[in-house]
Amino acid sequence: MPDAMRDTYAQFVAETYQSLRRYVQRFMGSPMAAEDIVQEAYVRTYQQGEQVEQPKALLFVIARNLASNAQRHARIAATDLVEDVDAIGVHHDDGRSPEDGLIADEEARLLAQAVERLSPQCRAAFTMKLFHDRSYKQIADELGISTKTVEKHISKGLRETHAFMRRTYRLDAESGKP
Q: What is the pLDDT of residues 17-58, one digit of tens each?
A: 999 999 888 888 778 888 888 998 888 888 887 777 888 888
Query: Above 60 in pLDDT, residue 87?
Result: no
Of the candidates 66, 57, 75, the residue with the CA atom closest to the CA atom of residue 35: 66
Looking up residue 76, the CATH number of its domain turns out to be 1.10.10.10
Residue 57 in 3-state DSSP?
helix
Q: Total structural domains in the chain?
A: 1
What is the rounded distance in angstroms from the CA atom of residue 82 to the CA atom of residue 54? 43
Q: In terms of residues, how long is the chain?
A: 178
Q: What is the largest CA-CA distance in the chain?
A: 69
Please indicate whether residue 19 or residue 97 has the higher confidence score (pLDDT).
Answer: 19
Contact 119, 77 (CB under 8 A): no
* Cα 132 to the center of its chain, rounded Å: 15
Is the sign of the CA dihedral 30, 125, 49, 2 positive or negative? positive
Instruction: Give the model confidence (pLDDT) of 98-137 as tens digits.
Output: 776 677 777 777 788 888 888 888 888 888 888 788 899 9
Residue-range definition of the domain harbouring residue 15: 3-175
